[in-house]
Structure 1
Amino acid sequence: MDSPHGAAVKAEDFGLKGPRGWVFRGVGVDAAPGSLIAVEGPSGSGRTCLLLALTGRMKPTEGHAEVGRHRLPKRMAAVRRIAALGPVPGVNDLDQALTVTEQLREGALLQRRYDGPVRALLRPRGERRTSTAARIEAALAAAGLDLATLPKGPRTSVRDLERLESVRLSVAIALLGSPRLLALDDLDLKLSDAERAEAWDLLRSLAARGTTVLAVCSEAPADVTVLRTVPAATATEEPATGQAAAVPRPMDSRITWGAGGTGSTGKQGTAVTAGAADTAEAAGTDSTADTAEAAGTDSTDSTHDTKGDDDALAETGRA
């Protein structure tokens, strides 16, 4: 596995509008490579759509962003090649019928087929197997997943994994492609306080190695750069004292988030706009921002990179 080198994430007036209103808008981000950023807010506040938009899987409708100098929405396929998805429910769920070893091998094969260099396919079979095994071992080590500790070792069924073990497995699969940006959704879902602390320690270690990490959560630790989202009903309200919508940490990251409501003017420190539709509706019914389009069929992207379809297929196993 190649040495990680994180991607800077920048956005200005970034927004996405669904069929029932704005999902988010007025987003401003300036995060250095190797940053750990948390998108914090309740379910249905547009946080997953923002994650998918910043990783090139969902087409924004307003403003622009840059990930590793690839501009969105024009270079969505290029962003997908350098941004991998960890666990994102409903997008890249693990196959419950496979064993852990089978899931890892499938992820490695898909990554090699769609994201690896063509010359790698011409190497002798034995050399390819050795290389794949080395990449899997490195990814597991980075994700903190020791197969020997599982109930049946490498032959443990994915369905029998604990929640934190599933997160680590998804992260390991994502790391097989040495992404510059790693994005995770619902990080703290169904985790105890101790497991949540372990999950954040994992993300800190990945960021320390150089990978930029973007994680959606309900509540982030105090030492993480935080973007907070709020439901649409309260998006136009000013945050209470001490509850600023953007808390920049560390000093090399600057985050701003726009104010709510159609026609509103964004300003630093106010709450994010969250559309009336929840994340699932916005992802599945908006013709300009649906998941299928984000998976590689957007017209603006095809004029810049013909590998969009291949990249999208890879995400079903590697992302």
Structure 2
Amino acid sequence: MDSPHGAAVKAEAFGLKGPRGWVFRGVDLDAAPGSLIALEGPSGSGRTCLLLALTGRMKPTEGHAEIGRHRLPKKMAAVRRISALGPVPGVNDLDQALTVAEQLREGALLQRRYEGPVRALLRPRGERRASTEARIAAVLAAVGLDPATLPKGPRTSVRDLERLESVRLSLAVALLAGPRLLALDDLDLKLSDAERAEAWALLRSIADRGTTVLAVCSEAPEGVTVLRTVAPGAPAEAAAPTVPARPAVARDAGPKITWGLSGGPASPAAPAAADAAAGPAPDNDTDGTTDGTTDGEPGTGEDGGTPDASATGKTTVGKPATAGKPATGKQPTTKTTDDEDPKGADDALAETGRA
């Protein structure tokens, strides 16, 4: 594995605003290449969003940052090319259905296919395989993971790895791309004190090889550059930096308010008003009609006559009248022309004496 030159990380008045308000704001940072930077703070204080913004995965709202010589937010694609994500839950989780060897081969294949030079795809198959195996062996040595010590060796399933082993494997996959900036989230999650110290020692060794490392944690050890974020409602003094020369503060803009789809809280009288506007419910009979008739022939009672509303308890609703048909639904006995209506036809019959 090549030893890349780390990228300097600088930020000034860096901030990100979401639908519910500011996620982080007023972040200042100045870290040299090959630094080990800890994003320290409680869960929900915007640590992961700040991590993704500094690696070009989220677009900031205000301020700017500079990763290497690439300025954010203008050069987000360039920053993504020189940075890599280690374990970030919900973003680049390991495939639990694969074995350790399969996960490494997949990572090497994807890196070669989408990020490697085109001429690498034209080399003979044996040469490509030997190069891939050499790179995998190099990154495994860098993260201190020996597949032979696992319960089933390289064929151990990813789901059977311990938490620290899973972190090592994720870092190995990320290092296959030779990034200048390596970022990972929740480093101290589910780790004992001894394992946490071992994980920080691992990150320090990666930074000493020249790669800038950015790690999210709840509590950072001594000797690292600390950038603190604060939870909503916390006092501003809790965000004071320890190592950076310039303030590195993520200030909260105030309480978060959840709005409804209409832009404000829903009115409790809205359902009642909607019911009143809807009117009475239609009379749905079992025959699929809503004209107030019984289940017999539409428009008639059981004896062929018109049903009595007082006897049946139903209100008869007539269908809209159409051309040549009266509103009662019965066919007329006399045909009418387009300029005649049923009443006019009856008057004409009466005048001729044939009514």
1:244 CA drift (Å): 5.5
1:230 CA drift (Å): 1.3
CA distance in 1, matches of 2:250, 2:102: 44
Q: Which residue does 1:257 correspond to in 2?
A: 249
TM-score, with normalisation over the residues of structure 1? 0.78
Q: Which residue does 1:27 correspond to in 2?
A: 27
Q: Which has the larger radius of gyration?
A: 2
- Cα pair distance change 1:214/1:277, threshold 3 Å: farther
2:233 equivalent to 1:238: no
- Cα pair distance change 1:39/1:188, threshold 3 Å: same
TM-score, with normalisation over the residues of structure 2? 0.70
The alignment's C-alpha RMSD in Å is 1.6
1:15 maps to amino acid: G
* Structure 1 stretches of 4+ moved >4 Å: none
2:108 equivalent to 1:113: no
Q: Which residue does 2:243 correspond to in 1?
A: 248
1:254 CA drift (Å): 4.8
Q: Which residue does 2:16 correspond to in 1?
A: 16
Q: Which runs of 5+ in 2 are unaligned?
A: 259-355
1:245 maps to amino acid: A
- Cα pair distance change 1:23/1:277, threshold 3 Å: farther
- Is contact 2:228–2:250 with CA below 8 Å preserved after alignment? no
- Is contact 1:23–1:277 with CA below 8 Å preserved after alignment? no
1:38 CA drift (Å): 0.2
CA distance in 1, matches of 2:80, 2:176: 14
Spell out, residue by residue over 1:95-133, the C-alpha distance to the aligned partner (whole angstroms, 9 max, x if none). Answer: 000000000000000000111011111111111111110
Q: Which residue does 1:98 correspond to in 2?
A: 98
| Aligned residue runs from structure 1 range 128-143, under 5 A | 128-143=128-143
1:223 CA drift (Å): 1.4
CA distance in 1, matches of 2:161, 2:233: 38
- Is contact 1:31–1:254 with CA below 8 Å preserved after alignment? no
CA distance in 1, matches of 2:56, 2:105: 25
Q: Which residue does 1:292 correspond to in 2?
A: none
Spell out, residue by residue over 1:219-259, the C-alpha distance to the aligned partner (whole angstroms, 9 max, x if none). Answer: 1101111111111111xx231xxx5521116xxx7552254
| Aligned residue runs from structure 1 range 40-59, under 5 A | 40-59=40-59
CA distance in 2, matches of 1:277, 1:186: 27
Could you tell me the percent identity over the aligned residues?
Answer: 81
CA distance in 2, matches of 1:245, 1:51: 19
Q: Which runs of 5+ in 1 are unaligned?
A: 263-274, 279-319
Q: Which residue does 1:61 correspond to in 2?
A: 61
Spell out, residue by residue over 1:41-74, the C-alpha distance to the aligned partner (whole angstroms, 9 max, x if none). Answer: 1111000000000001111111111111111111
Structure with higher RCO (Cα < 8 A, 6+ apart): 1
- Is contact 1:13–1:258 with CA below 8 Å preserved after alignment? no
CA distance in 1, matches of 2:111, 2:78: 15
2:183 equivalent to 1:188: no
Other structure's SS at 2:236 match: coil
| Aligned residue runs from structure 1 range 1-319, under 5 A | 1-234=1-234, 237-239=235-237, 245-248=240-243, 254=246, 256-257=248-249, 259-261=251-253, 276=256
- Cα pair distance change 1:20/1:99, threshold 3 Å: same
- Is contact 1:135–1:176 with CA below 8 Å preserved after alignment? yes
- Is contact 1:30–1:255 with CA below 8 Å preserved after alignment? no
- Cα pair distance change 1:29/1:277, threshold 3 Å: farther
Matched residue pairs, number?
258
- Is contact 1:95–1:158 with CA below 8 Å preserved after alignment? yes
CA distance in 2, matches of 1:16, 1:122: 43
- Is contact 2:23–2:252 with CA below 8 Å preserved after alignment? no
